[in-house]
Amino acid sequence: MSNQLSTTESKHLQADCASCFGLCCVALPYAKSADFAEDKDGGIPCHNLQSDFRCRIHNSLREKGYKGCSVYECFGAGQKVSQITFKGDDWNNQSIAKQMFEVFPMMQQLHEMLYYLKEALHRQETSKIHKDLQVLYENTLLLTNQAPEHILNLSISAHRALVNELLIQASELVRGSVKQTRKFRRKGIDYIGAKLRGTDLRGAYLRGALLIASDLKDADIRFADFIGADLRDADIRGANLTGSIFLTQAQVNAAIGDKNTKIPPNLSIPKHWQ
């Protein structure tokens, strides 16, 4: 069994915008900031969204001031809600629009859990808990296939707590497999602007860490846990992130890297790195 989740295996847990009705461009709100050029309320279509549900500035989002869009990941929830939950009926049907917009962020959370569970299942280090991971993965998948009204009645927080317990175990098994020459001692989660260039962070517990604009150039971050870490504008040029667990494409997209940055094989090098 591979240590990494392949692109093919994780395809249904990745955004397929061609099969979605632009739900993230309509359902979700955003505020004018360094990530967005203007304010937008939830349920209101972005003015860049075309009638075919495609974005007219998709290839220049960062240049146009929509960096937040370029790093967003729905983990496949968009196409699931569009094509399965609502059977291909889009939000222009006002009788379902409100419900669709409410279901979408809940489905995104469920799909994110599926992504992490699937990755944990594909790690050799977690073999002792594979059975438990598989059961919870299948139970979570069943939740995503329910009718809209049932999804809206789910306790996402309660289910996330169950998932989180297993993900922590998986993280400990992966990070515990690393023989560290120097133990990285974590103090809190605030590393905003931190100078960590060349630091040995192998097996580091970076869950929820604020690494915004941190200097991680040439750092050794193999087998680290990145779940929920904020990598916006983190400088990972020349850094080695191979073997890390729970690192997502959205996190990679948010960071600053180059041709010398090493990332897990299931993730892609962002265009703005080149």
Name which CATH class applies to 179-274. Answer: mainly beta
Report how far apart, in Å, the C-alpha atoms of 241 and of each of 99, 107, 167, 261, 262 are: 39, 28, 19, 8, 6
Classify 97 in phi/psi space as left (phi over 0), alpha (psi -120 to 50) or beta: alpha
Average pLDDT of the residues of the chain: 93
Give Rg (Cα) of the chain: 19
pLDDT level of residue 112 (50, 70, 90 thresholds): very high
Q: What is the mean pLDDT of residues 24-42?
A: 95
CA neighbor of 217 nearest in space, from 199, 204, 190 = 199
Q: What is the mean pLDDT of residues 176-203?
A: 82
User: 273: which 2 tokens?
Assistant: 């790195």
Beta bridge partners of 55: 49
Helices within the chain (DSSP H only)? 23-26, 67-70, 77-79, 94-121, 130-144, 148-152, 156-175, 249-254
- Tens of pLDDT, residues 39-89: 999 999 999 999 999 999 999 999 999 999 988 999 999 999 999 999 999
CB 162 within 8 A of CB 136: yes
- Tens of pLDDT, residues 148-162: 999 999 999 999 999
**Residues, the chain, total?**
274
Whether 7 has a pLDDT exceeding 90, the answer reads: no
Residue type, 104: F
CB 254 within 8 A of CB 274: no
Task: In whole angstroms, give the CA distance from residue 253 to residue 268.
Answer: 9
Spans of all domains in the chain: 179-274
pLDDT level of residue 12 (50, 70, 90 thresholds): confident
The pair phi, psi for residue 230, each rounded to 5°, is: -100, 105
pLDDT level of residue 1 (50, 70, 90 thresholds): very low
Cα angle 253, 47, 35; round to 5: 30
Beta bridge partners of 205: 225
pTM of the model: 0.92
Beta bridge partners of 200: 220
User: 108: which 2 tokens?
Assistant: 């995104």
Report how far apart, in Å, the C-alpha atoms of 71 and of each of 2, 32, 128, 139, 270 are: 27, 16, 34, 28, 10
Whether 137 has a pLDDT exceeding 90, the answer reads: yes
Query: Residue 149 in 3-state DSSP?
Result: helix
